[in-house]
Amino acid sequence: MQIGVIGSNRCSEEIVKIATDVGREIARSGATLVCGGMEGVMEAAARGAKEEGGRTIGILPGFNKKQANKYIDFFIVTGMGEGRNVIVVKSSDAIIAIAGGSGTLSEIAFALNASIPVVGLNTWDLRISGRKPEGIIRARSAKDAVKKALTMIK
């Protein structure tokens, strides 16, 4: 199983802690972590996974694998900029969205469109004409987020 972790490349210490804990839980579950391979949420989650002996894949926006954070095991160099967001999503069996900006929102949309489960921690609250659509499953903690992602995969 591959669980994608999405979120901003700049974030607060609180979000870094949440992302690190999500990475740890993904590794403990035996799944592989997929992310954009850069800083912020991506680096924190990858670090957490590596601390627990997990595997990490970084889908990089540029042309050089050296732009990846030091916790990435496998590099996919796309040269696609933000277009790589589709690859992050399509390479994942489920997505965990942690906080995030407009790039994270695009990844959530790609996942929902592809019927890939999305679990959210402190992330976007989507509404259509004032009502919440089906889609983002809310989690209360890193452990809860990974448990929900795994349940949705199975």
pLDDT above 80 (res 129): no
113: three-class secondary structure by DSSP: helix
- Cα pseudo-dihedral 36, 50, 74, 138, rounded to 10: -40
Report the pLDDT value the prediction gives residue 127, as an integer from 0 to 100.
65
Residue with tokens 């740890």: 24
Whole-number pLDDT of residue 131:
60
Report residue 4's pLDDT band, with 50, 70 and 90 as the boundaries. Answer: very high
Dist CA 140 CA 121 (whole Å): 7
User: Considering the entire predicted model, what is its pTM?
Assistant: 0.94
Domains of the chain, start order? 2-148 (3.40.50.450)
